[in-house]
Structure 1
Amino acid sequence: MDSSVDIDQDYLKEMLLHLLRIHSPTGYTDPIVREVCSELTDLGIDFELTRRGAIRSTLPGKKGSPDRAIIAHLDTLGAMVAGLKENGRLRIVPVGTWSARFAEGARVSIFTDNTIIRGTVLPLKASGHIFNTEVDTQPCSWDNLEIRVDAHIEGIEDLRKMGINVGDFVGVDSMAECMPNGYINARHLDDKAGVAALLAAVRYLKQNDIELPVDLHILFTISEEVGSGASAVLHGDVAEMVSIDNGTCGPGQNSSEFGVTVAVGDSTGPFDYHLTHHLLHLCQNGKIPHQRDIFRYYRCDSASALDAGNDIRTALITFGVDASHGYERTNLHSLECIARLIVSYARSEMIFERQKDSLGGLQAFPETRRVGVDSVVQEESERIVQETPEAVIPEEDEE
C-alpha cells in the first residue's frame, strides 16, 4: 500500500528551500509562523495559534477522541546581540545549543526594532596577515566572536544611531544548496526539512481525499531548540504523538541520510515501545527503507510534552543529518521516506483504541507482544524459564 505513495518531490524540495530563506531563531519565529499558516490555508486546512504562536491544525477523521498528533518545530538555532563594542562591532551569545566553531564566517541578519541590518560573524583575530598563526591558536568560544556590521561604523554611538540594541535577534543564513544526486546542504535542516516533509505528506493526504480513521493534529512548535517546544500545544485528547526531527549521523550512531531512522531512545530515555514498534511495522509493511538508533546527546519535542505532564505515547522519526547543528547535510530520499511514513501512520488505526480514557482498568491496558519472535526460540525460552530452579535464600542465623 505505502510503497505506491507518490510524494511530490518537487513540492517537498521547493517548500524546504522556501522555509530555509526565512530566518526563525527561537524567540523570533513570527515570520515563519505566518508563512506556514499561509501554506495551510492554501492546502485547505484550518488552524489556530497559541498565545506565543505555536500552530495547531487538524485533519478530521472518522472518529474523534482518542486521537493522534504529528509534530515538527519551526524554530532554529541563532544568536542575540549581547553588547555593543568600542570597535564598532557586536558581541553575541547563542540561541540554542551549537558550537561557536560553526558560527565563524556566517552571514547574518540583525533584527533591530525598526529594520534589518546585515553582517558577518568573525573571530576576534580574523586575518592571518595581521595575526599570523594566532588565527589558528585562538580559542573557539562565543566570547571569541563578534559581528562585523556592513556599514561605516567607528564606535558604539554609530551602532546606536543605526538602532542596534542589546537583545536584537540574529538570524544565520542557511546557505542552502541542492545537488542533482539528492543531497541537500544547509544550516537549519533541523527542523525545516522535517516541516517540509510533514507539509508534503499533508498535501498528499488532502489531494487524494484520504479518509483518516481518527483525527490527526498537525502541530508546529516554536521553541524546541531551547527545550520547551511541545509543552503547551497539545490537544487534551491526544493519545499518540510522533515527533519529526533530525537523526544524527556519525561514529557510534546507526542513522543514515537515506530512509527513515526510527529512534528508540534519546537522552531522556526510551520512547514508547508500542508506538515505536507500530511505526517499524508500517515501514516493514510499506517497504519504506529504515533503521533504528539511540541518540545519547539529544532531546526532542516528545520530552517537553511529557515534562509538561501529558500522559501520552510518544515516538520519534528522523531524517538523517550529517554535522547536525552545524553546516548540515541530508538527502531528499530520507525526507521522501519520512513523508511516506507519515501518510502510512495517518491512515493506520490507533494502536490501542480501547484506551480512550486517560485512566482505566487492567482490561484496557496493552500487553507487550513478542512481535516476530520465532516460535521455536520462544518455546525454548519458556522452557528455560520453567526449568530454572527458584533461588534459594538462606535463612538468617538466629542469635
Structure 2
Amino acid sequence: MTIDTVYLKDTLAELLSIASPTGYTDTIVRAAVGELRRLEVEMEITRRGAIRARLPGKSPRGARAMIAHLDTIGAQVKLLKENGRLEIVPVGTWSSRFAEGARATVFTDKGAYRGTILPLKASGHVYNEEIDTQPVSWSNVELRVDALVKGHEDLARLGFAIGDLVAIDPQSEFMDNDFIVSRHLDDKAGVATLFATIEALKREKVELPVDLFFIFSIFEEVGIGGASVLTDDVASLVAIDNGTTAPGQASAEFGVTIAMADQSGPFDYHLTHKLVKLCEENEIRYQKDLFRYYRSDSAAALQAGYDVRSALVTFGVDASHGYERVHLHALRSIAELLTAYAVSPVEIVRDREAIGSIAGFPTQPMEDADVFPRPGKPQL
C-alpha cells in the first residue's frame, strides 16, 4: 500500500521529542494513546503502560501481532557526589563512550533538571594528555547539573536522589536527502513505522483475514518487552526494531532487513520465509541478516511462555545505541511489507488452535537432504 511518508516523519519527530527512558514512559504512552484515538483504533493498556491496539479481522482466532517498543536507553543516578555532581549507571546496554558530552534531563521528585554527562577529566587545560588516556567506563563519567550546587547537601536539597532516571537528548536531524540522524531511533523509528502502517490500513479500509494487534511495549531495553501483553489468540508476532549495519553484517540503511536469528536463536522458519516471499512478490527491497549480540520483544514473549511464531524485521541503523542514523527508504519499506503481510491470507490454518493433532501441521522442505532413512536405504 502507499505509505504516507510525511506522516511517518512527522510522527517520528514527535516521538523523538518525548523523553522515554525505560522506567519513565508514562508521557510517551499517553501520546501514543492519543494518536491511536485520533486514528480511531480500539486499545487496551496494561497496569504499567504497555499498549495493545486492535484492528478487527474476519476471525479473532489465529490473530497476528506487530510489536515495537516506546522505551529507550537512558541512565539512572547511582550516587550524589561530594563535588556536586551525579554518578550514573546505564539503563539498557550502551557504552559510556556515547554518553560523554551528551545533554540530559534528570527527573527528580521536585522537578526536572538539565545537565551534561562529562568524563571525570574533562578539561585539557587541567589534565593535559590525561583526557585521552582515561578509561572508557561508566565509573569514569559524571553528570554535571545545571544548577547552583557545590556538594552532596545542595543536590539533596534540590531534590536529587539515588534512583532518579536520566533521559538523553535525541539531537534529531531530518536531512533533505531523507537520512535521519538521532539517538533513540531504536525504537521510535519502529513505533513510527507501526503508526504509518495503521494509517495506511485505515485509509484504504482493507479487510483483514484475522484480527491484527499492534503492541507498544515499554521495557524492551532491559529485556522484558513483549513478555506480558499478548493474548492467547495471537498465533504470530512480528517485531519491528533496528538492524545493525556494520562490517560483517548484511543489514542496510535501505530496504527491509529480515533477521534470520538473534542471540536467542533462529526465528520461525515459516513466518520468516513468508515475509521474504512478500518482499519478492511486492518488489520491496530486502536483505537477510543474523544478529549475535541482540534480542528483541519477540524473545521476551517466547521466554514468557507464549507459543507464537515469531519474526523480526528491521531498519538498518548505523551506530546503534550511539549516534544513530537511518534512511527513510528503510522505514517506508518496512511499512509496505507490514501492510502486505496484514492483508495476506493465512496459510497455516491450524495455527488458529493453540494445540491440536498433527493434521494441518506444516512441513519444511527436505527433498534435497538425504537425512532420514527411507525404505530400502541402508541404516547407518
Is the CA contact (8 Å cut-off) linking 1:275 and 1:351 kept in structure 2?
A: no
Tell me what 1:84 maps to: 80
Q: What residue is the counterpart of 1:248 in the other structure?
A: 244
Which whole-Å CA distance do the structure 2 matches of 1:389 and 1:274 have between them?
A: 30
Task: Decide whether the 8 Å contact of 1:75 with 1:222 is kept in 2.
Answer: yes
- In 1, the alpha carbon distance for the partners of 2:308 and 2:335 equals 23
How far residue 202 of structure 1 moved from its aligned partner, in angstroms, is 0.4
- Structure-2 change in CA distance of 1:367 and 1:33 (3 Å): same
Determine if contact 2:209/2:345 at 8 Å carries over to the other structure: yes
The answer for the alignment partner of 1:258 in structure 2 is 254
2: distance between equivalents of 1:390 and 1:119? 73
- The separation in 2 between residues aligned to 1:357 and 1:9, in whole angstroms, is 37
Following the alignment from structure 1 to structure 2, what is the Cα–Cα distance between the partners of residues 319 and 251? 16
The aligned counterpart of 1:326 is 322
Taking the aligned partners of 1:65 and 1:230, their CA distance within structure 2 comes to: 20
Tell me the TM-score normalised to structure 1 length.
Answer: 0.92
- Would you say how many aligned residue pairs link Structure 1 and Structure 2? 380
CA contact (8 A) 2:110 2:158 kept: no
Q: Find the residue that maps to 1:354 and give its secondary structure.
A: helix
In terms of mean alpha carbon deviation, does 147-156 or 98-107 score higher? 147-156
Query: Structure 1 residues 381, 49: CA separation in 2 closer, same or farther (over 3 Å shift)?
Result: closer
Q: Note the 1:180-199 alignment, pairs <5 A.
A: 180-199=176-195
The residue aligned with 1:31 is 27
CA separation of 1:82 and 1:281: change in aligned 2, threshold 3 A: same
The equivalent of 1:396 in structure 2 is none
| Segments of 4+ moved more than 4 angstroms | 385-389
Q: Name 1:339's counterpart in structure 2.
A: 335
Matching residue of 2:113: 117
Partner of 2:378: 390
Q: Counterpart of 2:311? A: 315
Is the 1:78–1:95 Cα contact (8 Å) retained in structure 2?
A: yes
Following the alignment from structure 1 to structure 2, what is the Cα–Cα distance between the partners of residues 387 and 177?
65
Question: Quick one: which amino acid aligns to residue 33 of structure 1?
Answer: V
For 1:390 and 1:127, locate their aligned partners in 2 and report how far apart those are by CA, in whole Å: 76
**Structure number with larger C-alpha Rg:** 1
Give matches, 1:116-155, under 5 Å: 116-155=112-151
- Please state how far the C-alpha of 1:114 moved relative to its aligned partner: 2.4
Q: Structure 2: which amino acid aligns with 1:29?
A: T
CA drift at 1:151:
1.2
What is the deviation of 1:387?
12
Q: Choose from 204, 218, 222 the match for 1:222.
A: 218
CA gap of 1:188–1:388, structure 2 versus 1, over 3 A, is farther
Deviation per residue, 1:217-271 (Å, 9 max, x gap)? 0000000000010110001110000000000000111000000000010001000
Verify the 8 A CA contact 1:274 1:351 in the aligned structure 2: no
Post-superposition shift, 1:350?
Answer: 2.0
**Distance in 1 between the 2:28 and 2:376 partners?**
61
User: What is the deviation of 1:90?
Assistant: 0.4
* In 2: Cα distance, 1:101 partner to 1:194 partner: 25
**Aligned counterparts of 1:212 and 1:63: Cα–Cα separation in 2:** 9
| Aligned amino acid, residue 378 of structure 2 | E
SS at 2:29's partner residue?
Answer: helix
Unaligned runs of 5+ in 1: 371-377, 393-399
For residues 113-137 of structure 1, what are the alpha-carbon distances to aligned partners after superposition, in whole Å with 9 as ceiling and x for unaligned? 1211000000000000110000000
- In 1, the alpha carbon distance for the partners of 2:347 and 2:191 equals 25
Structure 2 counterpart of 1:390, one-letter code: P
- The offset of 1:354, in angstroms, is 2.6
CA contact (8 A) 1:73 1:222 kept: yes
Amino acid at match of 2:69: H
2:269 counterpart of 1:269: no
**Inter-partner Cα distance in structure 1 for 2:133 and 2:296:** 35
Q: How does 1:5-20 map to 2 (within 5 A)?
A: 5-20=1-16
Tell me the SS of whatever aligns to 2:226. coil
Check 1:389–1:359 CA distance in 2 against 1; reply closer, same or farther (3 A cut): closer
TM-score (norm 2): 0.97
What does the per-residue CA deviation read over 1:54-107, in whole Å, with 9 as the maximum and x for residues that have no partner? 001100011111111000000000001111111110000100000010000000
